[in-house]
Amino acid sequence: MDFAADVVGQSIGLRLAHRDETALQDAYERYAPVVLAYVTGFVGRDEAEDVLQRTFLDVWRSAARYDPAQRFTGWLFTIAHRRAVDTLRARRHVVVDMDLARDLVGDDGRETVNRFADAADVRWAVARLPEHERTVLELAYFRELTQREIAVRLDVPLGTVKARASRGTRRLGQIMRASDEAAR
């Protein structure tokens, strides 16, 4: 996905640069769950929340340096990446996991940042869906339930789940396309 899709993120970045405190809250609400998932993969659950807080503190402190020509989520996850690396370096007994090292540095590290930046944008779009469609898609994709399992979980007919999944999936694509076109 092109970084132009991040038009809402760019707007948040500009507001942050103008020291708008509500923009920090908006950024946290929109991106914190994905940033938390990203840093947890590197530092583990115990330290992830601390890294999350330090990431957003850094976002606020360095907002003046945000370049609106840059994808906001890419900038945000680069900061999260740095704070995760700081945390790993601070550990006294570091056991090097080669998968982790590959995900943190070089081309793979940048690729990982971009993947999570993309994921943050999709999560934002999912949050824009009508609740009944959002619930079905979240259970399907983020809880990895089948449509039949979702029907049991929600106590609704299987046909209803299929219809909501289909409409929600189509609508999600439309939201992302509209966001992309608005930024061009």
Partner 1 sequence: MSAEHPDHVGLLRGELTNAEVLELGGHLEACDECRDELVALVTGHGLLAATMRALRPREPMETPWVPPLTVTPARPRWRRPAVLVAAAALVVAGAAVIPLVEGGSEGSTPTARRTAALAPVDGSARGRVVMTEGAGAVRMTITTRDLPRAARGDYYYAWLFEPATDKMLALGVVDPDGVTAFEVARDLVERYHALDVSLESDDGDPGHSITSVLRANYTPEASKPPSATK
Per rule CB under 8 A, is residue 8 in the interface with partner 1? Answer: no
> Any residues with CB less than 8 A from the CB of 158 and at least 6 apart, and which?
147, 148, 151
| Shorter beta-carbon distance to partner 1: residue 23 or 145 | 145
Backbone angles phi, psi at 19, to 5 degrees: 60, 35
Binding mask 44-63 for partner 1 (x = CB under 8 A): xxx-----------------
Tokens linked to 128:
């824009």
What is the sign, positive or negative, of the torsion defined by CA atoms of 14, 70, 173, 112? negative
d(CA 170, CA 99) in angstroms, rounded, equals 35
User: Segment 70-129, which members bind partner 1 (CB under 8 A)?
Assistant: 92-93, 95, 97-99, 115-116, 118-119, 122-123, 125-126
Q: State the minimum distance, in angstroms, from the CB of residue 85 to partner 1.
A: 16
Tokens linked to 178:
């509209």
Binding interface with partner 1 (CB under 8 A): 1, 34, 37, 40-41, 44-46, 92-93, 95, 97-99, 115-116, 118-119, 122-123, 125-126, 137, 140-142, 144, 146-148, 159, 162, 165-166, 168-173, 176-177
